[in-house]
Copies of this chain bind each other. A is one copy, B any other.
Amino acid sequence: MAETFGPLEHREGLGRGFRSEWQESLNSDNVTSHTSSNISPLDPEEFRRQGHMIIDFLADYYRDVEKYPVLSQVEPGYLQKCLPKSTPHNPEPIETILQDLQEHIVPGFTHWQSPNFFAYFQCTSSIAGFLGEMPSTGFNVVGFSWIASPAATELETIVVDWLGEMLELPKSFLFSGNGGGVLQGTTCEAVLCTIVAARDQMLSQIGKENLIKTIKTSKSTSYILSPDSLRAQIYEDVEAGLVPLFLCATVGTTATAAIDPLESLCAVAKDYGMWVHVDAAYAGSAYPSALIKSLSTNPEFLRNKASDSKQVVDNKDWQITLSRRFRSLKLWFVLRSYGVANLRSFLRNHDLPSALSETVYKNGKLDIVSKELANEANRKLLESINMSGCVFMTHAVVEGVFVIRFAVGATLVEERHVITAWKVVQEHANVILST
């Protein structure tokens, strides 16, 4: 039977059979080893060089997609044997990474873009879709609010209406008919949104309050969550017939960077058998079996031998959504391209907030949390600074005090940007103080 079907021809090769344009570069003089300890994470010319290389890699993949076995032929655990066990210490050139991608990762694909894929549901690609994702990734704007990137919000309003018109939805579903909507990442997220909305609507009708409680913190305890306040709230809830089940403690809150006393909070939670989630650099006190038990779904159309054998992890069991992007590929590129050593030194040399604190303390007319200027003046100051287009900062209100938040961490930020930002603050403050 083998000779009947194209895909089998190349099974032996498993991705080694194709001579591709991007591979030509491996033999040329183009290979530069990026072992210098300087990371230039957004150098335009390096971006251009590597970007063109990966476009060729993908163009070759589309050309050859039918030649691969559509269902991957690998055995569980195959990749562990091909890749190094620990994070690369030193950076590796893009050429090496692409070679590993072709030799070790591609053979482990079930090819969703193959025309021989008739499983699950299709997940169709197009050149235009790919091109649209690229600037979305490249600009990397986060459009949660209009102000956070007006174009991201307004373009969505426009194309959501375009889509609604194409589907001939009733006018009342469109923005132009006082309806509207956003593009959700997956169906699961969309359904979840509606369940939550329906629940809250019903709760408000039958007079029950929101199910998630917040507990106040104060300056006297440096804005940390006090174990005593927690215990008091739990006591009150239990008296009211509620079942406390989840505590979210924080290491570094958004407004004040407060660090909750985890040990004593956990002691309180333990008394009531509550789940503790730590929101911070730590991935949370994951309790994998309970998580999987709760989030795992196993409808018949997803069943397969590998899953039934329990030899493999199914990512869907660890998250709300069923579908998911191939996120690990991004992390793999980053860790290999820069290496642990460089990433660490980059972060250590990036301690710019302290540079600012020093400058402010040396030259400051303003306290960092100003008590001299009234809240209204601070609000005006921030607005004036932001409207200049020179720098963009946001704010927090901590116990009634309007605080200008200055978050330092952009890829391209250098000490000079921080210094300039401080000058901008001073100049705008002078104008406001003099009027």
Contact = CB atoms under 8 A, between A and B. Distances in A.
Contacts of A332: 132, 155, 158-159
A305 B423 CA distance: 24
A261 interface: no
A32 interface: no
Question: How many of these chains are in the complex?
Answer: 2
A324 B144 contact: yes
Contacts of A319: 182, 184, 189, 193
Interface string A275-296: 1010101111011101101110
B293 A135 contact: no
Contacts of A87: 162-163, 165-166
Interface stretch (A78-86, A230-238, A365-373): A78-86
A116 B65 contact: no
A225 B277 CA distance: 39
B314 A146 contact: yes
A360 interface: no
Interface stretch (A23-31, A45-53, A215-223): A45-53
Contact of A146 (B104, B306, B320, B326): B306
Contacts of A200: 290, 293-294
Nearest to A334: B128
B155 A191 contact: no
A324 B169 CA distance: 25
B46 A135 contact: no
Contact of A5 (B152, B316, B334, B388): B388
A298 to B, nearest CB: 10
Contact of A152 (B151, B326, B343): B326
Interface in A94-149: 94, 101, 104-149
Given A136-B326, A144-B316, A163-B335, 5 more contacts: A80-B154, A147-B307, A150-B312, A185-B185, A304-B394
Which 10 pairs, one residue from A and one from B, show the smallest C-beta to C-beta distance? A69-B389, A108-B151, A132-B333, A198-B275, A132-B330, A128-B337, A146-B312, A122-B409, A51-B55, A41-B126
